[in-house]
A = this chain, B = another copy of it.
Amino acid sequence: MGVVVASAVANSEEVFTPRQQQVLTAALDLLVEQGDRLTMTSVARRASCSKETLYKWFGDRDGLLTATVQWQAAKVKAPQVDRWRLDAASLRQSIEQFARDLLGTIVGDVSVTLNRLAIGHAGAEKHGLGAIVLENGPLAIRKRLKPVLEAGREARLLRFDSSEEAYRSFFGLVVRDAQIRLLLGETFTPAEAEIARDAARATEQFLAIYAVHQAA
């Protein structure tokens, strides 16, 4: 286990020195470039540091990977959608913004790489990375979206039993098969415009399901 990385999961208080962040950046770059096959030697070389330092700071290979994922995941905290009034238009806008954030993140190189890594680890009974990615990916967005959805329900703009359920359908409508296809190696990088269009479509569909019928 890592020396600096203590509790393995969700210790966002963890702080890295600038030098350490350089190392983590190097590790992340190599991860994106060559996936899980990166070697400690290559990280050391890329970061211009010694392996000894690597081991001193991160304990072992897993510690380094965990630190990298953790550190990167912590950066995802996108800005809260600030003030939204509770009319149909602004609700729709908030939701669409979330859809764009979510989709944009998920189709990114870094997201694909980190998810691949975490999935690989999960396949080896090491669920630490999976938990971190889960926590900072889908769950983070969900946590931010939930109050919006519930305010929408409060205002009788939306109808659903459980915000959990509603969120999951939202996720499905936004992500569809894009994530699994990317993870499986299909290479497509939607432009900003496509993402926006997809987000709009997903929002439309979500509202078609969960919006209260505005009976004139």
A108 at interface by CB-CB < 8 Å: no
A104 at interface by CB-CB < 8 Å: no
A179 at interface by CB-CB < 8 Å: yes
Contacting residue for A184 out of B115, B175, B205, CB 8 A = B115
Contact A36–B120 (Cβ < 8 Å): yes
Q: Assuming A172-B174, A175-B172, A209-B208, is B122 touching A119 (CB within 8 A)?
A: no
A94-141 interface with B by 8 A CB criterion: 113, 115-125, 127, 130-131, 133-134, 138
Contacting residue for A122 out of B121, B124, B183, CB 8 A = B183
Say how far A35's CB is from chain B's closest CB, in angstroms.
Answer: 3
Of A127, A168, A172, A208, chain B has the most CB atoms within 10 Å of the CB of: A172
Contact B174–A130 (Cβ < 8 Å): no
Of A113, A130, A185, chain B has the most CB atoms within 10 Å of the CB of: A185
A83 at interface by CB-CB < 8 Å: no
A146 at interface by CB-CB < 8 Å: no
Count residues of A near B (Cβ-Cβ below 8 Å): 41
List B contacts of A176 (CB < 8 A).
168-169, 171-172
Contacting residue for A169 out of B173, B180, B185, CB 8 A = B173
A13 at interface by CB-CB < 8 Å: no
A75 at interface by CB-CB < 8 Å: no
A177 at interface by CB-CB < 8 Å: yes
A181 at interface by CB-CB < 8 Å: yes
Contact B36–A183 (Cβ < 8 Å): no
A186 at interface by CB-CB < 8 Å: yes
Per-residue interface assignment for chain A, residues 152 to 184, with 1 indicating a CB less than 8 Å from any chain B CB and 0 otherwise: 000000000000000011011111110111011
What 4 A-B pairs come out closest when comparing CB atoms? A122-B185, A35-B123, A130-B185, A172-B172
Given A171-B172, A172-B175, 18 extra CB contacts under 8 A: A35-B124, A36-B123, A115-B180, A115-B184, A116-B120, A116-B123, A118-B184, A119-B184, A120-B123, A127-B185, A130-B184, A131-B184, A131-B185, A134-B186, A138-B177, A138-B181, A169-B205, A171-B176
